[in-house]
Amino acid sequence: MMRNLCERLSLVPWVVSAMVVVIASGFFHQVAAFSQASGATNGGAVVFELFTSEGCSSCPPADALLSELGSLSKDVIPLAYHVDYWNHLGWTDPLSSRRWSERQSAYARAMNQDGDYTPQMVISGEWQAVGSDRSEIARGVAAARSVLSPGRVSLHTSLASSGSHKLQVKLNARMLNASATGPLVVMVAIYENGLVERIHRGENGGRQITYDYTVRRLLPAFQLNPAEGAPVQKELRIELDPSWSLDHLGVAAFIQDAASLRIVGAAAEYPVAKN
């Protein structure tokens, strides 16, 4: 089972100084590659979707990498989904949802994978890699940037009043050219940064981990004509959970092909409280 990959992949201590030099060299090369996103010419942000779990011992390095990638460039949009299929192995992840497991399974079907595993990084809905594998993720980013993004989406968020948990999201989306295999849906994800979790049991028992870009809600905003056309505008009003920190909430919007699951345009705004 691919889900057992998490159990087989472990972080080996680097004890040989020569290895440290080699790894460091590769690390800085990949950081440079990721940070060049701000110079991308196709105008489309690269969306990272990490499928993770508090119950997976191989996931913390991927969680940390996602946070790092988000800090490298404004042209990447990281999102983290906590799956629920690890919950029966000693620890129930309070951030997990069956919906996120189902979303990962949909990607597995679209990519003809044998099954689901953690940590998995899906890149722009079209490429995937082990969530802690910098080299493979860098290759996925390069592949995503090599294709002109045919869609454009922008958003603006605001709160009804200071401290209010009523969020207003104004969306604007259009297709610059037709390239979809099925209907297009503009999706809106609300995510939260800086979640500190103390894990008492399971593979990560005894650890305290900080999670960023954790998806709190994902909802379809509207369908978009896959043909080239005029911009479509829509306004959403979303009731936020009072337990979510307004200072650490962000919103991402992306255009997704409902058939192939390819993401053809994306944008994000963080934090919502500043508006």
CA distances to 18, 20, 23, 142 from 15, rounded to whole Å, are 9, 8, 12, 31
User: Residue holding tokens 């979809």?
Assistant: 180
> Which DSSP symbol is given to 200?
-
For 267, the 3-state DSSP assignment is: strand
* pLDDT higher than 90, residue 130: yes
Which comes out higher in pLDDT, residue 113 or 34?
Answer: 113
Domain count, the chain: 1
Confidence of residue 275 (pLDDT cuts 50, 70, 90): low
pLDDT, position 32: 38
Mean pLDDT of all residues in 219-227: 92
In the block, residue with structure tokens 């050219």: 177
Question: Which CATH number is 166's domain given?
Answer: 2.60.40.10
CB 61 within 8 A of CB 132: yes
At 169, is the secondary structure helix, strand, or coil? Answer: strand
Quick check: 25 pLDDT over 90? no
CA distance 154 to 266: 8
Q: How far is residue 150 CA from its own chain's centroid?
A: 20
Go through the chain and tell me how many residues it has: 275
* pLDDT above 70 coverage of the chain, percent: 84
Residue 135 structural domain: 2-6+15-274
What H or E segment, with its residue span, contains residue 42? none
Q: Give the pLDDT band (50/70/90) at residue 26.
A: very low
Q: Report in angstroms the alpha-carbon separations of 188 from 30, 205, 215, 236, 251.
A: 29, 33, 10, 10, 7
Whole-angstrom distance, CA of residue 120 vs CA of residue 100? 12
pTM of the complete model: 0.85
